[in-house]
Structure 1
Amino acid sequence: MLAFAEHDGKHSIGRYARSVLVGDKRFGVIEKSHEFTLVPWRPVFERHAGRYVERLQRGDGISWTLGRGRSGPSIS
């Protein structure tokens, strides 16, 4: 299943696998089980390759939690 993460209130959690180029834009690949989600790429993701990430999208932006658990570093 391929999903572009664009919906308000969308919550995703999975393992950051790598980045990919789609046309001229770079996306991060978040894997969960046999599914993956393409999300807007950020340079900080590369330091967390292979680790779990959590994403929550709201009207005012996207919040990320990087690493396992909620106590890890986060970016907005």
Structure 2
Amino acid sequence: MCYGIYRRSVILTSRCCAMVDDGMGLSLVPWRPVIEQRLVQQLAATVRGGGVSCEIGRQPGPFL
């Protein structure tokens, strides 16, 4: 599970990823079109196998 603010997309040689800032570091999660509409908004991303699910504007507790 990755919680943070979506900052930008990053194009790697093999795929496109979303850069998520949790206030202590950055995480890369597989990019999906729905994420792009939520630039600088909070999201929670769960990566399972080859897929990713995102919840926009949700947080588990105190956040940034």
TM-score above 0.5: yes
- What count of residue pairs does the alignment treat as equivalent? 60
Report deviation, 1:31: 0.6
After TM superposition, where is structure 1 displaced by more than 3 Å over at least 4 residues in a row? none
Select the structure of larger CA radius of gyration: 1
Provide the alpha-carbon RMSD of the alignment: 2.2
Task: Note the residue ranges of structure 2 that are not aligned, 5 or more in a row.
Answer: none
**Contact 1:29–1:36 at 8 Å: present in 2 too?**
yes
Q: Provide closer, same or farther for how the CA distance between residues 21 and 57 of structure 1 changes in structure 2, counting only shifts above 3 A.
A: closer
CA apart distance, 1:43? 0.8
Contact preservation (8 Å) 1:51, 1:68: no
> Quick one: distance in 1 between partners of 2:18 and 2:12?
10
TM-score w.r.t. the length of structure 2 is 0.75
User: How far 1:69 sits from its partner (Å)?
Assistant: 4.9
- 1:31 corresponds, among 5, 14, 21, to 21
Find the counterpart in structure 2 of residue 54 from structure 1. 44
Over the matched positions of the two proteins, sequence identity in percent amounts to: 32
Instruction: Tell me if 1:66 matches 2:53.
Output: no
Give the Å deviation of 1:44: 1.0
